[in-house]
Structure 1
Amino acid sequence: VASELSRRRYELAAWEIFEVGKTWREADADVAEAIDFLRYYADEMDRLAQPMRLGNRPGELNQRSYEPRGVTAVIAPWNFPLAIPTGMISAALVTGNPVLFKPSERSPGLGTLLTDIFIEAGVPAGCLSCLPGGPGVGQALVAHPHVITVAFTGSKAVGLHILAEASRVDPGQPMVKRVIAEMGGKNAIIVDETADLDEAIAGVVASFAGYAGQKCSACSRVIVHRTVYDSFVSRLREAVLSLEVGNPLEPGTQVGPVIDARAQASIQRYIALGLEEGRLLAKQSADPSGYFVEPTVFTAIQPHHRLAREEIFGPILAVMKADNFADAVRLANGTEYALTGGVYSRSPANLAMAREQFDVGNLYLNRPITGALVSRQPFGGHRFSGVGAKTGGEDYLTQFMIARVISENTLRRGFESTQ
């Protein structure tokens, strides 16, 4: 499958632009990540497939081995329509589980195309089925007693509903269901008084405006030390107004449309709310004829404001002011999510404090906070950002299997039976 995705890399990127409005750079990155997942999980299963001896005490042999859990439902999002489902599907298949795959109703074409590539590459008949449709399909999969594992990526609300539904035990159900859920984020970047503002501005803009802010890892809050606040926001305004917003088919486009009219309306309601809660710093122009939302920045946002607490999933950035680095970390941790976060600083003491106290699953120091790489930056959060091991990490595949330990006494006494 990895070889086929590599061969069709540009065709698949083109489909992403067509169906979900990614820009060329974002689309190509999604295809590349899908390939990385396939190759990494194949290598990981080679390692896990070998029984492991536990301990080395004489007179006994203890071995741990893994076996498949059973039928797995994969419920995937639209914002990474190849990488995320490829990761979940390949993890379930390589560990020996048949998969029922529900792509998002916003990207059914790419879901069907991905399924066809898996089957054409040799996945046995009946081991992978694509079930496009709306929320009812996902609900039916979660509720079915023969579905043993649910791998989900999406919103917090849907993830919590799946966890609640999966906790029920229905007649005919062979074991307790396991839910692997990646959910939302309200991610912050801290800019302290020692930061390189050129790097910080570029990193913040890339992290909040990339794919029109439609990433669970996207930056939606930037927390700036008071001594550099005025300089930072002045330069941030100019950077945002310089963004190229438009048709993603054009190679110079940096910010394309949001996914559909429903998303556009939801994000625009938050822009209206931002005008009430804070002060408008910058709002780039956008084509009114499509599902475009202007990259928008608000200042004077306070911790209790909705713009500082709720996931928006669009190109809206809230700027907050901190008195010192400890205050900035406190503000950054002040949401129910714990997914990604970033710090721009040249202070060893502040970077050390961030490592210890900035409570996120993936912390990025002096770099953008999106674009995690398989194996190098396993991805996932905690609190209400998700439950389960990080994707693209060494613990991920074991969630789709059961572990068995066999202990043998190798100091047998007496004679072997002849019967």
Structure 2
Amino acid sequence: MSTLTKVTPYANEPFTNFSLDENKQAMEAAIAKVKSELGQEYPLYIGSEKVVTEAKIKSINPGNVDEVIGYVSKANQALAEKAMVAALETFESWKRVHVRKRAEYLFKAAALMRERKHEFSALMILESGKNYVEADVDTAEAIDFIEFYAREIIRLSEINETGPLTKIAGEDNKISYIPLGVGVIIPPWNFPLAICVGMTTAAVVSGNTVLLKPASTTPIIAHKFVALMREVGLPDGVINFIPGSGAEVGDYLTTHPKTRFISFTGSKEVGLRINKLAADTVPGQIWIKRVVAEMGGKDGIIVDETADLDAAASAIVASAFGFQGQKCSAGSRAVIVESVYDQVVEKVAALTKQLQIGLPENNFAAGPVIDKTSYERILEYIEIGKQEGILLAGGEKAEGNGYYIQPTVFGNVSGKARIMQEEIFGPVLAIAKAKDWQEAIAIYNDTEFGLTGAYFSTDEERIAEALETVHCGNLYINRKCTGALVGVHPFGGFNMSGTDSKAGGYDYLLLFTQAKLTSRKI
């Protein structure tokens, strides 16, 4: 047995300190390397084949729209079917590979990604518009997911050795966690490496084969991950890389009779559509398809009059505007108790106005939003916000040859306002005033979502009540509502935020397996 597959204590990948010159220079060198490779063409991976298509997805830099990152071959339904056939065939052998061997591929991939950490981050900086820290955290999380799930599948495989079943005389009873089959992986563009890697590796290390359909705005970082998995020797057909149209390829695979599960992260609207399509059985289907969905949020931070107001204001700004608010965990709402409302709002507005906007490759605090569609939608919401609240900061387009928007803050917003209720997914923060901390919690809970939240207070009785009654999957006390760590903060939400799948948690792999009980008379 390889020493790599020994289950050592898990530790999260450290983040890079870019205040150190050597680290900053290393990232600049990685960006230069990635820039030297721009404009290339990237194939599909179907079984053992590299497939080049005439139709291409053009990936551009959202911070400099004249810069083409590359061209990715685009799958159609015929190629999706070909990939399904390859995945089905490979599943028959892959499911029999010992779990420690499957985990070994992941350990090798984590080690290789760690060696090339800045290179992966640099590609994200250019393709998705993240600054140095946001990209570095994304890559670190990807490494964490790979390591964590490799250890988790080993733990699950050994669960019988700890004797979880009740013993009875005359029988030998065991429970084992076996793979489901072929799954469709549909990751988002906002964590184009970490979530893509986490969803994919969880499925394959559990013994499944997958069809990976990455987001059309960030397909090249996904391709780079798949190429790395092929480099470490993962058998052909375990991961089939088929970027393409959601309406054409996504719907086709979601309704396919041989699709066993769909793992999705993205918008509420698309997630609900997938759930509906997957629920309908079709001829040749012999199972109920499993849907694992993380769909978004309208997350918020509550601040009462006992809180550390400086810490609360810093957390509100960090939660609202990290990666331009393009996180399902982003704190796009704040609810402040009226006795400290003016103080907190003044601090938030001042901190927001200090955020400098510019090219991600130059490591500005605020960069572009992902594409023209998002840009136009967010600007429309800002105009709505001007009718629903008082503009305190931002509110306009920002300069630059890309999709730049000023970080925007609205105050005195009603809890029922659209900008308090609808997911904007951009650099827009709405602040509401509450008469007291109980009303603040009620305003926070008045949403169809329930992903993340934070409560700032120094009153232990209030904190205890908040822990009980603030309705979200991930609640943080006296810290920002973004930045979940693998194995530390299992991530997933309630209501329209999805299936509360708890990615990075100790029960996540159960979603990609089924428990088989065997009983033998002795």
- Superposed, 1:31-180 pairs within 5 Å as 31-50=139-158, 52=160, 53=163, 54-135=165-246, 136-180=248-292
2: CA distance, partners of 1:388 / 1:322? 29
State the Cα distance separating 1:127 from its structure 2 match.
1.1
Structure 2 equivalent of residue 261 of structure 1: 372
DSSP-derived class of the 2:402 partner: coil
CA distance in 1, matches of 2:352, 2:395: 7
CA–CA distance in structure 2, aligned partners of residues 46 and 235 of structure 1: 48
1:145 and 1:119 map into 2 onto residues whose CA distance is 28
Aligned partner letter, 1:172: G
CA offsets per residue over residues 22-68 of structure 1, 9 Å max, x none? 00100010000000000000000001113524112333332111111
* Letter of the structure 1 residue corresponding to residue 506 of structure 2: E
Which residue type is aligned with residue 243 of structure 2? P
Residues of 1 paired with 2:209 and 2:365: CA distance? 39
How far is the alpha carbon of 1:123 from its aligned partner?
A: 1.1
Q: Which amino acid aligns with 2:444?
A: A
Alpha-carbon deviations, 1:237-275, whole Å to 9, x = none? 111111111111113x11110001110000000000001
Contact 2:297–2:497 under 8 Å retained in 1 = yes
Question: TM-score of the superposition, structure 1-length normalised?
Answer: 0.96
Query: Match for residue 77 of structure 2?
Result: none
Q: CA separation in 2, counterparts of 1:49 and 1:249?
A: 43
Pairing partner for 1:190 from 302, 306, 316:
302
Q: Does 1:283 align with 2:407?
A: no
Alignment partner, residue 484 of structure 2: 372
**How far off its partner does 1:283 sit?**
1.1
Q: Which amino acid aligns with 2:185?
A: V
User: Does structure 2 retain, via aligned residues, the 8 Å contact 1:361–1:382?
Assistant: yes
The structure that is helix-richer by fraction is 2
- Provide the C-alpha distance between the structure 2 equivalents of 1:250 and 1:195, rounded to a whole number of angstroms: 35
Q: How many residues align?
A: 409
* Contact 1:104–1:134 (8 Å) recurs in 2: no
**Are the aligned partners of 2:301 and 2:454 in contact in 1 as well (CA < 8 Å)?**
yes
Whether the 8 Å CA contact 1:329–1:354 is kept in 2: the answer is yes
Task: Work out the CA distance in 1 between the residues paired with 2:175 and 2:344.
Answer: 54
Instruction: Report the residue type matching 1:93 in the other structure.
Output: V
Q: Which amino acid aligns with 2:405?
A: V
Secondary structure of the structure 2 residue equivalent to 1:239: helix
Deviation at 1:284, TM superposition (A): 7.0
- The equivalences for 1:378-389 within 5 A come to 378-389=490-501
Q: Which 4+ runs in 1 deviate beyond 6 A? A: none
Question: For residues 267 and 284 of structure 1, what CA distance do their matches in structure 2 show?
Answer: 10
User: What amino acid does structure 1 have at the position aligned with 2:334?
Assistant: V
Tell me: CA distance 1:284–1:11, structure 2 relative to 1, closer, same or farther (3 Å): farther
Equivalent runs, 1:239-250 vs 2, <5 Å: 239-250=351-362
**Distance in 2 (alpha carbons) for counterparts of 1:99 and 1:357:** 39
Q: TM-score, normalized by length of structure 2?
A: 0.77
The yes-or-no answer on 1:307 pairing with 2:415 is no
> 1:399 aligned to 2:511?
yes
Conserved 8 A contact 2:120-2:139: yes
Query: 7, 10, 20: which is aligned to 2:128?
Result: 20
Shift of 1:324: 1.1
* Preserved contact between residue 74 and residue 152 of structure 1 (Cα < 8 Å): yes
1:206 matched to 2:206? The reply is: no
For the residue of structure 2 that corresponds to 1:92, the secondary structure is: helix
> Alignment RMSD, CA only?
1.1
Paired position in structure 2 for 1:415? none
How far apart, in 1, do the equivalents of 2:166 and 2:172 lie? 8
Deviation string 1:105-125 (CA, Å, 9 cap, x unpaired) is: 011111111111111112101
Q: CA deviation at 1:402?
A: 1.2
Structure 1 position 221 matched with structure 2 position 333: yes
**How far apart in 2 are the matches of 1:32 and 1:233?**
33
How far does residue 168 in structure 1 lie from its aligned partner after superposition?
A: 1.1
Alpha carbons 2:452, 2:475 under 8 Å: kept: yes
SS of corresponding position for 1:148: strand
Q: Do 1:243 and 1:284's aligned partners in 2 also have CA atoms closer than 8 Å?
A: no
Unaligned runs of 5+ in 1: 411-419
Deviations 1:203-251 (A, max 9, x none): 1100000000000000011000110001111111111111111111113
Q: Distance in 2 between matches of 1:293 and 1:204?
A: 18
Distance apart, 1:350 and its partner CA: 1.3
Q: Aligned partners of 2:442 and 2:289: how far apart in 1?
A: 36
> Which residue in 1 is equivalent to 2:458?
346
Tell me the secondary structure at the aligned position of residue 298 of structure 1. Answer: strand
Q: Secondary structure at the match of 1:355?
A: helix
Counterpart of 2:488, as a letter, is R
List per-residue Cα deviations over 1:252-305 (Å, max 9, x = no partner). Answer: x11110001110000000000001111111117721532011110001111221
- Does structure 1 retain, via aligned residues, the 8 Å contact 2:395–2:409? no
Residue matched to 1:417: none
Q: After superposition, what is the alpha-carbon deviation per residue over 1:57-84, rounded to whole angstroms, capped at 9, x for unaligned?
A: 3333321111110001100110000000
Mark the runs of 5 or more structure 2 residues left unpaired by the alignment.
Answer: 1-108
| Deviation at residue 388 of structure 1 after TM alignment | 4.7
Which stretch has the larger CA shift, 96-105 or 231-240? Answer: 231-240
Matched residues in 2 for 1:337 and 1:104: separation?
23
Q: Once the two structures are aligned, what percentage of the paired residues are identical? A: 45
Preserved contact between residue 473 and residue 500 of structure 2 (Cα < 8 Å): no
Q: Which has the higher contact order (CA 8 A, sep 6+)?
A: 1
CA distance in 2, matches of 1:81, 1:288: 23
Alignment match, 1:11: 119
Distance 2:159 2:477 in 1: 38
Greater shift, 46-55 or 321-330, is seen at 46-55
Q: Which amino acid aligns with 2:225?
A: L
Once the two structures are superposed, residues 304-359 of structure 1 have per-residue CA deviations (whole angstroms, 9 ceiling, x without a partner) of 21011000000100000111111111000000001000011111111111100000
| Matched letter for residue 346 of structure 1 | T
Between the aligned partners of 2:291 and 2:468, the Cα distance in structure 1 is 29
Change in CA separation of 1:310 and 1:149 when aligned onto 2, cut-off 3 Å: same
